[in-house]
Amino acid sequence: MTANTENKGFVYVEGKKVAIENEKNLLEVIRKAQIELPTFCYHSELSVYGACRLCLVDIEGMGIQASCSIAPKDGMKVTVHNSQIREMRKTNIELLLAAGHHNCTTCVKTGMCKLQDIAKKLGIKEVRFKQNTEVKERNTSSHALVRDPEKCVLCGDCIRMCSEVQGIGVIDFVNRGSKTEVLPAFGKNLDDVECINCGQCVRICPTGALTSKSEVSHIWQDIWNPGKKVAVQVAPAVRVALGEMYGLKEGENTTGLIVTALRMLGFDYVYDTSYSADLTIFEEVNEFIGRFEKGEKLPLFTSCCPGWIKHAEHCYPELLENVSSCKSPQQMLASAIKESFVQEGGKREDISVVSVMPCTAKKFEAKRPEFSKDGDFDVSNVLTTMELARMIDEKGIKFLELEPSAFDMPFGFKTGAGIIFGAAGGVTEAVVRFVLGKVAPEADYKPITKVLHESKSLKEMEVDLGGGKKVRIAAVNGLKNAQNLIADIKSGKKQYDFVEIMACPNGCVGGAGQPAITGRENMKQRSEGLYSIDDQVQLHKSQDNHYIAELYKNLVGEVGGKKAHEMFHTHYHSRQRIKLKPEEAKGKTNINVCFGSSCVANGAKKLYQETRQLVKEKGVDAKVHMTPSFCYEKCTRGPVVKINDAIIEKADAKKVAAELDKQVKK
């Protein structure tokens, strides 16, 4: 019992006296008594939903109740297992089995599926109900995620994860009763809505209803193609989680084993994404210092997380110019690999780059058209940590018995700064190490910063650069937390110069590509695993990575230079949330009022009504064609109104009236 817990009485679980501490519900008290009640819809990180009806218990005087939805009270006498409860639980599972088509042998979730596990534990040998014959179609339209409604048990975990933790709410229940389904708005594909591909829904899904989209077959084909070289890069977070698939503890470092396994799988070059994490620091700090000195476009937001980037494109178009133009480490390394291969006389398309990532959004990032040249993508395929384990198992490699080996050079060399990118706040720390390393090269790498606030999801600090210059920094993880932070920045409540945003709770170590067998409480060990690798390596500051100096000397030129921009920087574009196509009428004065999210926030709706009124007052109704439209990408200067070819920024009724007079006369 910790100091801050106070005894609130006792519950008698099967006659055993269990103290009530700070548990929100009876289920948690029962679990404390070493009894693992089965659940689908209960997760301590999400709100209580009470839908799966598996955590049923018999409470004296209250009858059979779902223990997740009951507050523990002193003196409660609870039976967790009797013939009635047993029958009810079995019936529930049998109904779920009869309603869907679970096809365990061909399901990627097999062995990690809660439905399978619970059915086995409850000893279900037959399903007494008629199998539902209707088959709902599997949706594979997204680059990152696969939705299979046949395997859905309607626990709603994915829905609550997406809205409560990630703050988006891309999917929800549709219809009711036996027709209930989990779908994106209007039954659209995930790629056509605001889904950021973070895959937290995949991580929490108890069955195979939501999974990552595997590209394993394509990768084998590339490996077996004699005319092709295949390079593979491994992200930092993978090395402290893959071992979990083989029974190792969370956070255990398996770097050497992974490198050996990748060579055995047939990859020609095995590289480390930590190398390009170091490289990112060179470019991003350069960009930051430039802005910091001029005091413009601050705070600078990091751009390593593809989930955050897509969210910004959908919901914060006005902040896109504050987002670092640096590509993510995955894309930077792919650029460097392809470009070096070409420099050495190879053909760009003769080398393909595969990356092993803890993340499902990286699959989407790799397929962004700006990261390709004549249809040849810089990163051709992305493997998640779990998919790598599948390839290792498919080839029959005995992972734990391998001899560790080292990455190939030059792109396998890294400093500790590149390693800690995988932990929440790691990018920030790497930046601070770099900056302080420039100010005081002799000082210890462990940054001396003034930590103003630290919680699981947010760290705020201040770095003194000397000469009265102080950099205010925030590192936030979990998209909902990031939204709250951005709201504070916008309202002026908080001021920062540099903000790190990682969409997934706990950063990359908590990505959806990581083994799902681990609970969230164990994510910390993975982060600690990365920091202990950092302790073991020789160098800790990105500027000490001499292979990067060499890359600039031989291939790239200057940091932040022209070639660097071509290879390592990108641009973002505002993405539609409402599909409103501007319609134009020939021979008329066309007025388009922008209804992009930021113009709406800046009063587009009021302006739209005012403009309509204006048109009527001026009696030019017949000569004018007025339509709402979407985003002119001038989000910082909204609301925007376009009259014929004239674009009015920061528009108001007066400006619109003046321009209207001019245009109607034409």
174 binds other proteins (CB under 8 A): yes
Question: Which residue, 63 or 187, is less far from other proteins as judged by CB?
Answer: 187
Asked if 418 contacts 531 with a C-beta cutoff of 8 angstroms, the reply is no
Residues 411-470 that bind other proteins (CB under 8 A): none
* Torsion angle in degrees (nearest 10) through CA of 116, 118, 121, 127: -70
- Taking CA 176 as the corner, what is the angle to CA 175 and CA 181, rounded to the nearest 5 degrees? 60
Determine phi and psi for 382, rounding to 5 degrees: -120, 135
Determine phi and psi for 229, rounding to 5 degrees: -95, 140
Asked if 62 contacts 112 with a C-beta cutoff of 8 angstroms, the reply is no
Question: Which residue, 129 or 173, is less far from other proteins as judged by CB?
Answer: 173
Question: Which residue, 545 or 629, is less far from other proteins as judged by CB?
Answer: 629
Asked if 40 contacts 50 with a C-beta cutoff of 8 angstroms, the reply is no
CB atoms within 10 A of CB 257: 23
Q: What is the largest CA-CA distance in the chain?
A: 89
392-401 burial, b for 16+ CB within 10 Å, e for fewer? beeeebebee
186 binds other proteins (CB under 8 A): yes
CB atoms within 10 A of CB 404: 12
168 binds other proteins (CB under 8 A): yes
295 binds other proteins (CB under 8 A): no
404 binds other proteins (CB under 8 A): no
CB of 41 to other proteins, least distance (A): 17
172 binds other proteins (CB under 8 A): yes
Binder among 412, 418, 507, 628 for other proteins (CB under 8 A): 628
Question: Of 13, 24, 28, which Cα lies nearest the Cα of 59?
Answer: 13
Q: How many residues does the chain have?
A: 666
7: left (phi over 0), alpha (psi -120 to 50) or beta: beta
Alpha carbon distance 624, 590 (integer Å): 6
Question: Which residue, 402 or 626, is less far from other proteins as judged by CB?
Answer: 626
- Interacting span for other proteins (CB under 8 A) from 24-32, 179-187, 542-550, 641-649: 179-187
Binding-site size, other proteins (CB under 8 A): 31
Binder among 9, 111, 169, 557 for other proteins (CB under 8 A): 169
Residues 578-617 that bind other proteins (CB under 8 A): 578-580, 595, 597, 600, 605, 608-609, 612
- Interacting span for other proteins (CB under 8 A) from 184-192, 269-277, 361-369, 392-400: 184-192
Question: Which residue, 171 or 337, is less far from other proteins as judged by CB?
Answer: 171
CB of 596 to other proteins, least distance (A): 10
- Interacting span for other proteins (CB under 8 A) from 45-53, 122-130, 165-173, 412-420: 165-173
CB of 153 to other proteins, least distance (A): 18
Helix (H, G, I), strand (E, B) or coil at 433: helix
Question: Of 275, 315, 216, which Cα lies nearest the Cα of 415?
Answer: 275
Question: Of 144, 411, 93, which Cα lies nearest the Cα of 267?
Answer: 411
Question: Of 225, 231, 228, 279, which Cα lies nearest the Cα of 259?
Answer: 231
Cite the active site residues: 284, 287, 304, 324, 362, 365, 370, 508
Question: Which residue, 78 or 593, is less far from other proteins as judged by CB?
Answer: 593
Complete DSSP assignment for 288-339? HHHHHHHT-S-SEEP---HHHHHHHHHH-GGGGGGB--BPPHHHHHHHHHHH
Question: Which residue, 97 or 599, is less far from other proteins as judged by CB?
Answer: 599
CB of 175 to other proteins, least distance (A): 5
Strand boundaries in 310-417, DSSP class E: 351-357, 372-373, 376-377, 381-384
Binder among 2, 34, 83, 175 for other proteins (CB under 8 A): 175
Question: Of 68, 16, 64, which Cα lies nearest the Cα of 38?
Answer: 68
Question: Which residue, 364 or 595, is less far from other proteins as judged by CB?
Answer: 595
Question: Which residue, 316 or 371, is less far from other proteins as judged by CB?
Answer: 316
CB of 651 to other proteins, least distance (A): 17
Binder among 107, 118, 158, 170 for other proteins (CB under 8 A): 170
Q: List the x/- string, 112-151, binding to other proteins by CB under 8 A.
A: ----------------------------------------
Residues 346-375 that bind other proteins (CB under 8 A): none
Binder among 626, 631, 635, 643 for other proteins (CB under 8 A): 626
Asked if 115 contacts 170 with a C-beta cutoff of 8 angstroms, the reply is no
Q: List the x/- string, 190-229, binding to other proteins by CB under 8 A.
A: ---xx-----------------------------------
Alpha carbon distance 397, 388 (integer Å): 12
622 binds other proteins (CB under 8 A): no
CB atoms within 10 A of CB 412: 18
Tokens of 599: 């113009």
Bridge partners (DSSP) of residue 352 are: 230
Contacts with other proteins by CB under 8 A lie at: 163, 168-176, 183-187, 193-194, 577-580, 595, 597, 600, 605, 608-609, 612, 626-628
